[in-house]
Amino acid sequence: MTKEDFAALVELVLTSKRRPPDVLFAGGFDDWHARARLGHFLAMQEVGRSQEARELFVSILAEEVDEGNSEDIEEKAFALQRLSEIEHAAKEHEAALEHMNLAIELVENTDYLYKFILRGELWAARWNILHDMGRAAEAEAECDERIAAYEDVPVKHNSYLYYGYRFKAQLAAERGVVLVAKDYMHMALSEMEIPAEYEEALEKAFSATHENASWILNEIDRATPRPELLPWDI
């Protein structure tokens, strides 16, 4: 991608429905932060330029981060997460796994509580990639290890446990064990601070009596507040 291509894509994003502030891209093509931010907007469904987004995310792989700056670490990890998601959607599982692993390594090397990145979500993304590679047993074993390592940590909102139990629920649903899937989702949601306005829809989703476990989990997810908008302790 040339600087001219970059400038044209910035203009495309600035005039899209999202209309982000142009200060986000003020560093220009030579600033990896600006390239990563542009990549996020290009990858959005309404913009639909995932290939260009992928190219921009790949361009930051070798960039160094300031280990004393949580925002710097998070910005690169967030870009790696999105790159992995694009590759996973394209069924390029090896690349997706590699880049998700890099994101996990980056955030696990510090104790920062990030604004947008949830450690549990990154691990769950890794497990889903492994699952799609035919390595579900390995993914479940890792999930069990994460749960065992963090289930006694004295915090109320634990993203490792939320995403770990949620992954276990997905596996139970695949096996057709509806009650077990529901139990794991109850455990997952106990790690969340659920606003009162979500309780009725969640109760309705859990009350389904049919045996389509995947449908029930989808309805529970639809009734659940977005995790990134809730407070987390870890």
pLDDT tens digits, 10-47: 999 999 988 999 999 999 999 999 999 999 999 998 89
| 1-117 classified as CATH 1.20.1740 | no
Q: For a pLDDT cut of 70, what percent of the chain falls above it?
A: 100
By C-alpha distance, which of 229, 165, 170 is closest to 194?
229
Res 116 pLDDT > 90: no
How high is the pLDDT of residue 30? 95
The predicted pLDDT at position 223 comes to: 96
Q: Which of 74, 73, 95 is nearest to 84 (CA)?
A: 95
Tell me what the mean pLDDT of segment 90-112 comes to.
96
Q: Please give the model's pTM, rounded to 2 decimal places.
A: 0.93
How far is it, in rounded angstroms, from Cα 221 to Cα 123? 18
- Residue 6's pLDDT is 96
pLDDT 10s digits, 140-191: 999 999 999 999 999 999 999 999 999 999 999 999 999 999 999 999 999 9
CA nearest to 127, candidates 146, 117, 140? 140
pLDDT at 136: 97
Instruction: Please check whether residue 88 is in contact with residue 124, taking contact to mean a CB–CB distance below 8 angstroms.
Output: no
pLDDT tops 90 at residue 69: yes
User: How many Å apart are CA 42 and CA 54, to the nearest integer?
Assistant: 9
Mean pLDDT, rounded, of the chain: 95
Secondary structure class of 61 (helix, strand, coil): coil
Looking at residue 78, its amino acid is: F
- Residue pair 166/185 in contact (Cβ under 8 Å)? The answer is yes
Q: What pLDDT does 145 receive?
A: 97
Is residue 56 classed as helix, strand or coil in its secondary structure? helix
The HSE-up count of residue 117 (CA atoms within 13 Å, CB side) is 28
At residue 204 the predicted structure's pLDDT band, cuts being 50, 70 and 90, is very high
Q: Is the CB of residue 171 less than 8 Å from the CB of residue 188?
A: no
Share of residues in the chain with pLDDT > 90 (%): 92
Kindly state the average pLDDT of the residues 214-228: 94
- The Cβ-side half-sphere exposure at 43, using a 13 Å CA radius, reads 22
Domain ranges in the chain are: 1-117, 136-234
